[in-house]
Amino acid sequence: MRRVLILLLIAAAALAQQNPAAQAARQWREAHEGAIVREFVDLLALPNLARDADAVRKNADAIVALLAKRGIAARLLEVPDAPPVVYGEIRTPGATRTLIFYAHYDGQPLDPKEWLTPPWQPTLRDGPLDRDGRAIPLPGSGPFNGEWRIYGRSASDDKAPIVAMAAALDALKNSGVALHSNIKFVFEGEEEAGSPHLGRILAAYKDLLASDLWLICDGPVHQSRRQQIVFGARGIATVDITVYGPRRELHSGHYGNWAPNPAMMLARLLASMKGDDGTVLVDHFYDGIEPLSDTERRALADAPDVEADLKRELWLGRTEGAGKRLEELITRPSLNVRGMASARTGSGASNVIPSTATATIDMRLVKGIDHDVAARRLIDHIRRQGYFIVEADPNADTLRSHARVAKVVVEPSGYNAARTSMDLPVSRLVIQTVESARGKPVLLPTSGGSVPLYVIEEIMHAPTISVPIANHDNNQHSFNENLRVQNLWDGIELMAALLSM
């Protein structure tokens, strides 16, 4: 068994050697590790929250300069009140195919206090923090250990692909490997804010952004560390819920048993939404799901089983979903509590009945479930639990005249799921190219995460396929986000192969 595995690995490695662009990328990278990482950390040092217009523009300007350095005429695509999209293109004489490489340069909101090193002071560590990785000085040149990690906001989500593409372009140019497609780059600046203006930008620049395929360079590789290709993404609807107790915090002794406690009300409300096995109990929650194709089912069955490893890594004694595997569970919609707050806890607690309690919920949606419909179903559920629903802070009369009041705010950033068939010719080409560069990939019908692929498909009528490069254990969307150095190296080879496809 082990011998078969080794033979398979050798065969896969040999196959990888077959892709000349990937080979060229590796040689180039080995000779330029210091410079590549330097370009990366310079980009990571720029604060990049979508709501900070000035900061976002500095990022966009830096990426324009990064493309210009490769001889690519880059520009900003703008609509009012939105972070700019950085756009660049390479026209390839005789090419009949146009590929768009998409990534985003903005990062998730954060609380700096939670970070061990400041989020925009990129730090190299000799391993992951949860295995005591120590900060080490950035070497001027290679070789870098592939297990080192680079910590900083957007190290993995999603500045790494931008730098990987830049290095891949350098490698291709210097080794003389030819391109076969027209290439366009689209780097978005508000993906983590839910891409509220992407549709408008696509509509405004529809001709400029025509293509045969969008390659979405975002997200992590498989937990087995194998390259994966992901043919869709879940949609999303985010809802903030606030429930109300007494107008002001009350002494829990003098009023305990009498004044309703909003923390307990919220607990009961949340508990009503999900069964102990993870089944969502909101009426019609699963209605309309578009079934998987045979190819998609086969791909799921072929994906490596990482359940035991993941549970060990994440210190989990169980999972939801009645024993179904992660890959399968993310093809279903989910309901998740992002966070929950009411008064104070622990040593900061005071003995009060809180005045309000709040939770933020996200629902990850699959093809066949509209995000507005999903939000409406949740609101209906809250109403069925006895709540009078308001959309803004309720006044005294509203609170006095209803037994239970919930403020429910659906964030405007929701969008639908998307899924590209694995059976399209362009899908097969991508699978073949990735396999020749990085060995047999894991094929997933959808990512668990959400990227606004739906907007792209609907407006541009072009399919999307995701080719992520980050390590799965990257703390994406949390504090101490990081990129494993080997994933950057592998990403450069992957990008070189796809660029020359």
Least distance (Å) from a second copy to the CB of residue 481? 10
What is the C-alpha to C-alpha distance for residues 167 and 408, in angstroms, rounded to an integer?
46
| x-marked contacts with a second copy along 76-115 as a string, rule CB under 8 A | --------------------------------xxxx----
Nearer to a second copy, 170 or 249 (CB): 249
Q: How many residues contact a second copy, by CB under 8 A?
A: 104
Q: What minimum distance in Å lies between the beta carbon of 279 and a second copy?
A: 10
3-class SS letters over 74-140 = EEEECCCCCCCEEEEEECCCCCCCEEEEEEECCECCCCHHHCCCCCCCCEEECCCHHHCCCEECCCC
**Candidate list 300, 405, 443, 494; residue touching a second copy; CB under 8 A:** 405
How far, rounded to the nearest angstrom, does the alpha carbon of residue 1 sit from its chain's CA centroid?
A: 36
* Beta carbon of residue 52, minimum distance to a second copy (angstroms, whole number): 13
Q: Which of 20, 83, 84, 220 binds a second copy (CB under 8 A)?
A: 220
d(CA 366, CA 447): 10
Is 120 or 244 the residue whose CB approaches a second copy more closely?
Answer: 244
- Residue tagged 């609380």 (tokens): 111
Comparing CA positions, the residue from 396, 110, 382 lying closest to residue 242 is 382
Q: Is the torsion defined by CA of 168, 495, 76, 220 positive or negative?
A: negative
From 86, 250, 299, 485, residue interacting with a second copy (rule: CB under 8 A)? 250
Binding residue (CB under 8 A) for a second copy from 89, 362, 435, 490: 362
Q: How far is the CB of 381 from a second copy (least distance, A)?
A: 14
The DSSP code for 466 is E
**Nearer of residues 108 and 182 to a second copy, judged by Cβ:** 108
Q: Does 428 bind a second copy (CB under 8 A)?
A: no
- If one asks whether residue 346 binds a second copy (CB under 8 A), the answer comes out as yes
Contact 227, 490 (CB under 8 A): yes
Closest CB 421 distance from a second copy, rounded Å: 21
- Indicate which single residue of 59, 195, 334, 427 sits in contact with a second copy (rule: CB under 8 A): 334
The residue among 427, 450, 197 whose CA lies nearest residue 293 is 427
Hey, what's the torsion of the CAs at 220, 223, 228, 231, to 10 degrees? -70
d(CA 193, CA 105): 12
Give the CA distances from residue 453 to residues 232, 340, 457, 491, in Å, rounded to whole numbers and listed in that order.
7, 29, 6, 21
Find the shortest distance in angstroms from Cβ 225 to a second copy: 15
Which neighbouring-strand residues pair with 362? 238, 336
Q: Which is nearer to a second copy, 182 or 447 (CB)?
A: 447
Residue 351 backbone dihedrals phi, psi, to 5 degrees: -85, 80
CA 194 to centroid of chain Cα atoms: 11
Stretch that binds a second copy, among 17-25, 136-144, 423-431, 444-452 (CB under 8 A): 444-452
412 is an interface residue for a second copy by CB under 8 A: no
Residues of span 181-210 touching a second copy by CB under 8 A: none
Stretch that binds a second copy, among 87-95, 169-177, 232-240, 284-292 (CB under 8 A): 232-240
E strand or H helix at 396: helix 396-400
Scanning 86-94, 139-147, 251-259, 289-297 for contacts with a second copy by CB under 8 A, the matching segment is: 251-259
With respect to a second copy, which residue has the nearer C-beta, 157 or 493? 157
The SS3 call for residue 367 is: coil
Site string for a second copy, 2-21 (x = CB under 8 A): --------------------
Q: Which of residues 117-136 bind a second copy (CB under 8 A)?
A: 130
Q: How far is the CB of 407 from a second copy (least distance, A)?
A: 11
Between CA 157 and CA 129 the distance in angstroms is 18
Residue 289 found at the interface with a second copy (CB under 8 A): no
The residues near 471 (Cβ < 8 Å, ≥ 6 apart) are 156, 220, 221, 225, 482, 483, 484, 487
- Based on the shown chain and the rule CB under 8 A, indicate whether residue 447 belongs to the binding site for a second copy: yes
Out of 80, 291, 294, 347, which residue is the one contacting a second copy (CB under 8 A)?
Answer: 347
Residue 4 or 314 with smaller CB distance to a second copy: 314
Q: Closer CB to a second copy, residue 23 or residue 416?
A: 416
